A and B are shown apart, each in its own frame.
Chain A
C-alpha cells in the first residue's frame, strides 16, 4: 500500500446486463491533490465515483479509501469522506442552516452551519430555503454540505455543469480553497478548461477505460507533437504545400474557423522548418503555442468533447 495514497482503485469492472460500463479501471489519488476524471457523458466517470463512495457495487476489482476497503469498511469510510452528487437537491422544506445541522448530526464530528456557509460568503442566508438560491449558490451550498463532517476526501461530481462562466469561476475558487484546507479532492468534469485549471493530475476516460493518466503538463509534453502552429492563408493552400507541411508533423483543418489550419510539430527545429515553408504565402493570421489538454483529448479519444446539450440522445441515455 502506498502511504501517500488517499484512494487506490484497482481493476474496477462494472457490468450491467451485457453492457460493460467499466472495463478495468485502475488509478491512485495522492493525498491533498485535486484529481480529475475527464470524459464525455456516459464514459463511466460517475459510476467510478459511486463505486468508490459505496453507492454501487463493482462487478470485480477493488477500491480503497484512506486505506480502507469500500466494501467492508464503508461505515468508517463514510465518516471521513464528503460527497456532492450530480444534481442532488436538498430538503425543500428546511432552511440551509437546518439542513446543515441535520447532516452534521449524522457524523461523529463536524463543522457548524455558520462556519460552513461563511466559507462561501453565504452566512447571511442561513434562514433561506434551497429554492430561494440561484443556480451557482445552490451548487456552492451543495459542495459546502459535503464538507459538513470536515472530511479528508471530497468527491465532486460535475460540480459546474449548467453554470454560467462567472459562477463556474467562483466554484473553482471554492475547490482551490478546499485543497488549501489540506483535503483531497476528486472531481469529474467534461469541461477541459476546468480540469486544466483545477487538477494536478487527470485521468482521461472513454467508454469505461482510462486512456491516459498524468499531470496536465506531462500529458501535453508526452504528445508526439507538443508544439502547435495555427495559420490562416489568404488564398487556398497549394497542394504541394499541404503535402510538405503534412510530412513535418500533423496537419489538420481547424475546427473553429473555415480555411484555417493547425499544424502539430515535434520540436522547435520542426517549427522553424514549417515557418520557412510558410514564408512565401500570404497569411491573415498566425499563432504559435503549446498544445493544450483539448489537443491531447482529441488525439486520445478521437473525438472533440461536447457540452451536455449537444450530446446525441442515444448517447445521453446511456
Chain B
C-alpha cells in the first residue's frame, strides 16, 4: 500500500510538471521531426532540382535531355532559359544545379559533334556536387560510346576486309563493356539510412536528458524547499521515498520511449531491424545510469537553478561526444578511444549495433559492462555525498 502510494504521487508530480515534461517529451521529438522531414526530402537517389537549359536544340541534345530525365537522379525543370537567371535562382536555393547545353563552337556541318555541356553547381551543396559531376561524366561517356558503336556498326555493314572486320568487332566489344556501369552493392546486413542512425541516437539522448536534468532539478528543489527534511521527520524511511521517485522516473522514460517510437517509426518511417527486447533493456539500464548521475549532481547543487546548470553542463557535452548525430567511429583514433568510454556512447553504439546492424547481443557485453560500471560508481558516489537533511 505504502510504496504504491508514493509511486502514484511521484508519477502525478512528474506528469504535472509542465516544463520538465516539455524537456522530456517535446524536445527530443522536435529533433526527430526535424531529421525525419530532412530525410523525407532526400528520399531515394534524387540529388535535387536541375535547371536544364537547352541552347543547342538539336536531336542529340534532345536525346541527352531524355537520358538525364530517364535516369531519375534529378528533378528536371525547364522554367529557365537564361543561364544567368538560373544561376541567380540557384544562389537563392530555389534549384540545386544548372545545366547548359550549347552547340559546339567548331561543329561545321558534321552530324556527330557532341554539344558543349556545362554544369553549374552551388558551393553550399558540396556533399552532392561530386555525385552530380560524376553522373554527367559517365552519361557523356555512354553517349560517346553509343555514337562510336553506331559508327562501327555502319563500317561493319560495308564490304571490307575480314581482318578489318574482326578488328572493328573487337573494338565494338571493348567499347560496349567499357560503357557498362560498374556493379555496386551496399555493405552491412540492413539498409540503414542516416535517419535510422540518428533516431537511435535521439532515443538515447532523450532518455539521458530527462533522467539527468529532470531528476537533478527535482531533488535539488525538494531539498531547497526543505521537503526532504520534512520527510525525515516522518517514520517513512527516506530510501523508500527515493525508490518511489526512481520508479516514477523509469515509468516516464518508457512513456517517452513509446512516444518517440510512435512518432519516429510510425510517422517518419525510422526502422528498428532487430533486438526489440535489447532496446528496452538498454533504455532501462541507461535510464537508471542517468538517474544516478542526476542524483550525484544534485548532491553538489545548493539550489534548483544550480542543479539545472550543472545537469545541462554535463548533458550537452555528453550529447555531442556520445555520437547522437554521427557514428563515433569517424572520430580520430586516440580521441575515439577516450569518448567511447563516456556514459552515453556505449548506450548509443550498442543500440545501433544490435537494433540496426543486427549484431549479436553477445558482442555488446563490453559496452554493457561500461554502462554498469558507470551506474555502480556514480550511484555509490551519490549515496556518499547526497545529504537529505543538514546532518
Contacts and interface: CB of A to CB of B under 8 A. Distances in A.
A98 B236 CA distance: 17
Majority DSSP secondary structure for residues of B touching A: helix
B6 interface: yes
Contacts of A106: 2, 231, 234-236
A87 B16 CA distance: 24
A109 B309 CA distance: 42
A88 B226 contact: yes
Contact of A78 (B6, B9, B235, B389): B235
Interface string B217-254: 00000100111011111111000000000000000000
A88 B233 CA distance: 12
Contacts of A27: none
Name the residue in B9, B229, B390 with the highest tally of chain A Cβ atoms < 10 Å from its Cβ.
Answer: B9
Interface string B362-391: 000000000000000000000000000111
Nearest to B18: A93
A273 interface: no
Contacts, number: 71
Interface in B1-55: 1-2, 5-6, 9, 12-14, 16-17
Chain A interface size range: 20 to 34
Nearest to A103: B234
Contact of B233 (A53, A90, A92, A108): A53
Chain B interface size range: 20 to 34
B227 A90 contact: yes
Contacts of A108: 235
Contacts of B390: 50, 55-56
Interface in A56-81: 56-57, 75, 78-79, 81
Name the residue in A57, A79, A83, A93 with the highest tally of chain B Cβ atoms < 10 Å from its Cβ.
Answer: A93
Contact of A98 (B12, B227, B233): B12
A137 B105 CA distance: 93
B103 to A, nearest CB: 76
Contact of A85 (B17, B222, B226): B226
Nearest to A104: B5
A81 B234 CA distance: 9
Given A102-B6, A105-B5, A91 B13 contact: yes
Interface string A132-171: 0000000000000000010000000000000000000000
Majority DSSP secondary structure for residues of A touching B: loop
Interface string A85-117: 101111111100010011101111000000000
Contacts of A79: 235
Contacts of A54: 232-233
A288 B234 CA distance: 50
B234 A89 contact: no
A110 to B, nearest CB: 11
Contact of B391 (A55, A87, A93, A94): A55
A78 B233 contact: yes
Contacts of B389: 55-56
Contacts of B2: 105-106
Contact of B235 (A89, A90, A92, A107): A107
B234 A78 contact: yes
A175 to B, nearest CB: 19
A83 B235 contact: no
Name the residue in B13, B230, B390 with the highest tally of chain A Cβ atoms < 10 Å from its Cβ.
Answer: B230
Contacts of A88: 225-227, 229-230
B227 A57 contact: no
A102 B231 CA distance: 11
Nearest to B232: A55
Contacts of B233: 53-55, 78, 81, 83, 85
A93 B17 contact: yes
Name the residue in A81, A105, A149 with the highest tally of chain B Cβ atoms < 10 Å from its Cβ.
Answer: A105
Contact of A75 (B13, B16, B235): B235
Contacts of B12: 93-94, 98
A286 B391 CA distance: 54
Contacts of B226: 85, 87-89
Interface of A: 50, 53-57, 75, 78-79, 81, 83, 85, 87-94, 98, 101-103, 105-108, 149
12 contacts: A55-B229, A78-B234, A85-B229, A88-B225, A88-B227, A88-B230, A89-B226, A90-B230, A92-B13, A94-B16, A98-B9, A105-B5
In the A-B complex, list the 10 residue pairs whose CB atoms are closest, starting with the nearest: A89-B225, A106-B236, A83-B233, A93-B13, A93-B16, A106-B234, A88-B226, A78-B235, A105-B5, A102-B9
Given A85-B230, A105-B2, 7 more contacts: A54-B232, A85-B229, A88-B226, A90-B227, A90-B230, A94-B12, A94-B13
